[in-house]
Amino acid sequence: MVTTVDPIPIEYRSLIRYNQEWQALICLKCDGHAAVGRATLGRHLHDAHGLSAKDYKPLIKALDTSGVSPLPSLDDFPNTMLGSDCCQGVQDAWTLDATEF
């Protein structure tokens, strides 16, 4: 597997993690760690965590210029077989909240 530089700026790593294998953004502040689609990342950070655009725009800009391709929506998140390993950091892929995408 090819290793890339973490696209998440250091100041946001306690909030968001990027899982390279699953191409998933993982919100570490959500209960159970929720996957968040790139297309609605700003809305998620604002609605769920009260961040202003001024607070999260540097994160979005860093992601967009990093060269990585986070999943844009839940529709692109791969389904796992029951009992198989899920995206590390997400406790239960079957309970992801589709409204976050």
Structure-model confidence comparison of residues 63 and 79, the more confident one: 63
What is the mean predicted confidence (pLDDT) over 40-60? 95
Binning pLDDT at 50, 70 and 90, where does residue 23 land?
A: confident
Structure-model confidence comparison of residues 75 and 30, the more confident one: 30
pTM confidence score: 0.72
Phi/psi for 9 (5° steps) reads: -60, 150
Structure-model confidence comparison of residues 91 and 16, the more confident one: 16
Q: Does the pLDDT at position 74 exceed 80?
A: no
